[in-house]
Structure 1
Amino acid sequence: MNAVTKTYRRGAHEVHALRGVTVGLPRGGFIAVMGPSGSGKSTFLHCAAGLDTPTSGTVHLGDVELSRMNETRLTELRREKAGFVFQAFNLIPSLSVADNITLPLRLAGGRADRAWLDEVVRRVGLGDRVTHRPSQLSGGQQQRVALARALVTRPEVVFADEPTGALDTTTAAEVLGLLRQVVDTMGQTVVMVTHDPVAAAYADQVLFLADGVIVDTVRSGTADAIARRMSDLGRSMAAA
């Protein structure tokens, strides 16, 4: 991401969600993005993932530059190179676990590599649930399905937007542990937006956004240190 700005018009006013953001996200890393409400973190994720187009600047996903692609090509690229995990699990109620996981492949006109599907299912701990429907699963199990769905296409990056926001503390820790595991054992790249310092502490580095600008980076921080930095940012924005 190089010199990325994103401006929205609301009536007669312009809202500057991102202001000249330049950052490189390392392959095989776990990056958390934090910031006060309205800091631009969701816009950052959407631009990085090709879900939104910057007003100016360039965005690369792997070695592909996204900014000038039309929506059809962006959709194809997201299917090929990006996986997504959201706070809402976004599973299809009528489909089995296996069919929910392989849905992105079928939408792209492909088929699942059976050995890889079995490996992904095993890694997320769903081996005995592949024939179940989402309604037969707990919230944590449904989020595991969503993570498996994000991984099955072998994406360059998994983008996670508040992936533990709907989960209790214990289940959230299990899902975060899985994200940490796929980085450490599979070399997967994960970019996660979160408001939770405990969740951010699982990451290799935390980017702090304020008023659309990256104002700080913490590497391998504790939850307490991350929480203190967030409090400092909140006070700074309140005083501005």
Structure 2
Amino acid sequence: MAHGQWAVELRSVEKKYGRGAGEVAALRDLSLSFDRGSFTAVMGPSGAGKSTFLHCAAGLDRPTSGSVWLAGTDLATLDEAQLTMLRRERVGFIFQAYNLLGSLTVAENITLPLLLAGVAAEPGWLDQVARRVGLSDRLQHRPAQLSGGQQQRVAIARALITKPEVIFADEPTGALDSRTGRQVLSLLREIVDRDGNTVVMVTHDPVAASFAQRVVFLADGAFAEEMAAPTADRVAARMTRLEEW
């Protein structure tokens, strides 16, 4: 299959930290691909390499060996400036901490990636994105005036504003209560099903994973298995097995 058909592809990725006797392999020969317009959860026991996977796949960190392709571009061919540009324009990020700037309005927080890239928002696009995440009446508010769930919606809107090839979400509901968390996850699933966005979410929560179309399990930095059409119960059972393993 041609590289361009995947949103993200990892080929035989290894990531090692330290030297000599202190060397730790965080990822071992990891090959994974993510379809455009798909929602995938990445799970695994603590120390399985989930964060390292996310950092390498999103171009935040370079693998020790192997290659990462993002929207048909081999990240190894880019210098730091080009990589920064690619992350800014073609990747969206949603974190557990919303990372909003308190001094900016919701509208300014959402359009910040465009401002940093020196690009003007297309007319009407901010309104469309705000409507999509249910924040049309909050654009002039500051983050402190919003609930946690609303702040995470601002973060999702900010991730969508550049029309990225892929959105990486790192424990996006970790700071939210379960009801609010489910609303945010439903929204993520909606932007995949309705709008064709690609979402790759790292999570430890089986309920969160059940909103994805497939779950990829990592163990000891390597691919362990995957599950299509997950349910929270099946994911929890599989995680228990992996942790024992």
Structure 2 residue 78 is matched with structure 1 residue 69? yes
Alignment partner for residue 143 of structure 1, among 152, 159, 168?
152
Structure-to-structure mapping, 1:152-171, within 5 angstroms: 152-171=161-180
Structure 2 residue 103 is matched with structure 1 residue 101? no
Find the aligned partners of 2:179 and 2:186 in 1 and give their Cα distance.
11
Q: 1:114 Cα shift? A: 2.7
Q: 1:68 Cα shift? A: 3.3
Q: 1:46 Cα shift? A: 0.8
Structure 2 residue 225 is matched with structure 1 residue 189? no
**Matched letter for residue 87 of structure 1:** Q
Find the aligned partners of 2:92 and 2:27 in 1 and give their Cα distance.
23
Residues 30-72 of structure 1 deviation map (CA, whole Å, 9 limit, x = unaligned): 0000000000011111111001100000100011110232211
**Matched letter for residue 68 of structure 2:** V
TM-score for both structures, normalised by structure 2: 0.95
Runs of at least 4 residues of structure 1 off by over 2 A?
none
**Matched letter for residue 235 of structure 2:** I
Structure 2 residue 112 is matched with structure 1 residue 88? no
2:34 is matched with 25
CA contact (8 A) 2:89 2:113 kept: no
1:218 is matched with 227
Does the residue aligned with 2:34 lie in a helix, a strand or coil? Answer: coil
Find the aligned partners of 2:230 and 2:66 in 1 and give their Cα distance.
30
Name the stretch that deviates more: 5-14 or 105-114.
Answer: 5-14
**Matched letter for residue 6 of structure 1:** K
Does the residue aligned with 1:59 lie in a helix, a strand or coil? Answer: strand
Q: 1:161 Cα shift? A: 0.2
5+ residue gaps, structure 1: none
Q: 1:108 Cα shift? A: 0.4
TM-score for both structures, normalised by structure 1: 0.97
Residues 106-138 of structure 1 deviation map (CA, whole Å, 9 limit, x = unaligned): 000111113111111001000100000000000
Residues 161-212 of structure 1 deviation map (CA, whole Å, 9 limit, x = unaligned): 0000000001000100000000011000000000000000000100000001
**Matched letter for residue 101 of structure 1:** I
**Matched letter for residue 51 of structure 2:** S
Structure-to-structure mapping, 1:198-217, within 5 angstroms: 198-217=207-226
Find the aligned partners of 2:77 and 2:163 in 1 and give their Cα distance.
24
Alignment partner for residue 139 of structure 2, among 130, 141, 147?
130
Does the residue aligned with 1:84 lie in a helix, a strand or coil? Answer: strand
Alignment partner for residue 113 of structure 1, among 112, 118, 122?
122
5+ residue gaps, structure 2: 1-9
Q: Percent identity at matched positions?
A: 62
2:237 is matched with 228
Find the aligned partners of 1:47 and 1:196 in 2 and give their Cα distance.
22
Find the aligned partners of 2:125 and 2:77 in 1 and give their Cα distance.
33
Find the aligned partners of 1:201 and 1:68 in 2 and give their Cα distance.
36
**Matched letter for residue 179 of structure 2:** T
